[in-house]
Amino acid sequence: MKKMPIHNIDPVYDKKSEILILGSFPSVKSRQIRFFYGHPQNRFWKIMAAVYEDEVPESIEDKKSFLLRHRVAVWDVIESCEIKGSSDSSISNVKVNDVNRIIKNSRITRIFVNGRTAEKYYKKYLEKSTCLKAILLESSSPANARYSLNDLIDDWKEKIKGDINNDL
């Protein structure tokens, strides 16, 4: 039996977290450095900095601090799976994370999924148990060449900040 890679990154959240952004499964590079969106070409951190009008965090500690300061929780839908390299399209034999542990210990009212693979597995395995529909954010992955950095910033800002403004 083939050994499946295991998710080795703890979720980032605290009791003040209000939104949860879920990826699919960490890339090879992210698993190596043991933190989210670790591939230098992934645009997640640049997008988040633009959405929150803040500096792009560099170190893992800076990234954790950034997320908590902006009340953003981050984790992934998938705990373990069969995957070739970092290719979401090759994912099979999925076991999902228990995202309800974050929801129960925070103020999460909105869930966003980073890309269509995260959306697919969230809807299939988690949506019923969380009772929260996920909002699709176009993938920050470098494999998503259809969207420029500016396109992604516009998409994420409209969905994340637009949601906040509608709540006021």
Within 8 A by CB and 6+ apart from 106, the residues are 13, 14, 15, 16, 17, 18, 20, 73
Question: What span, in angstroms and rounded, lies between the C-alpha atoms of 17 and 129?
Answer: 19
pTM confidence score = 0.93
pLDDT recorded at residue 163: 52
Measured CA angle at 100 (ends 44, 93), to 5 deg: 70
- Could you please state the CATH topology (level 3) that the domain comprising 19-167 is classified under: Uracil-DNA Glycosylase, subunit E (3.40.470)
> Within 10 Å of residue 9's Cβ, how many Cβ atoms?
18
Q: pLDDT for 98-118, tens place per residue?
A: 999 999 999 999 999 999 999
Taking residues 81-99, report their average pLDDT.
90
Average pLDDT, the chain: 93
Domain extent listing, the chain: 19-167
Residue 166: is its pLDDT beyond 50? Answer: no
**In the chain, what is the straight-line distance between the N-terminal and C-terminal CA atoms, in Å?**
52
Tokens of 86: 């970092």
Question: What span, in angstroms and rounded, lies between the C-alpha atoms of 71 and 117?
Answer: 24
pLDDT recorded at residue 160: 97
Q: pLDDT for 127-160, tens place per residue?
A: 999 999 999 999 999 889 899 999 999 999 999 9
Q: pLDDT for 56-76, tens place per residue?
A: 999 999 999 999 999 999 999
130 has which bridge partners? none
DSSP 67-94: HHHTTEEEEESEEEEE-STT-GGG-EEE
